[in-house]
Amino acid sequence: MKVKILAGKDRSKEGEIIEIDRKNYRAKVKGINIVKKHVKTTKEKKGGIISKENFIHLSNLKNIESTKKEIAKK
């Protein structure tokens, strides 16, 4: 589902939802709200700074993709 960001540092950008946290009313959008995470080196993984998407509240998102049902009703 494609959405548009209504508030925050990535305002007016568009992206696709990757993951939804229904309990906390949050979603991850591909390429939006990128944060840097510092990861410690372990025996299995190499450490360093990783960029990844963080959750954004659903009230700051607007659906811009119409479904087939909505189009049929019009």
Query: How many domains does the chain fold into?
Result: 1
Range of the domain at 56: 2-73
Q: Is residue 37 packed enough to be buried (19+ CB in 10 Å), middle (13-18) or exposed (0-12)?
A: exposed
pLDDT of 74: 60
pLDDT of 72: 65
pLDDT digits (tens, 9 = 90+) for 16-59: 999 999 999 999 999 999 999 999 999 998 999 999 999 999 99
* Reported pTM: 0.76
List the helix and strand counts (H, then E) for the chain: 1, 7
Contacts of 16 (CB under 8 A, 6+ apart): 1, 2, 3, 29, 30
pLDDT of 65: 76
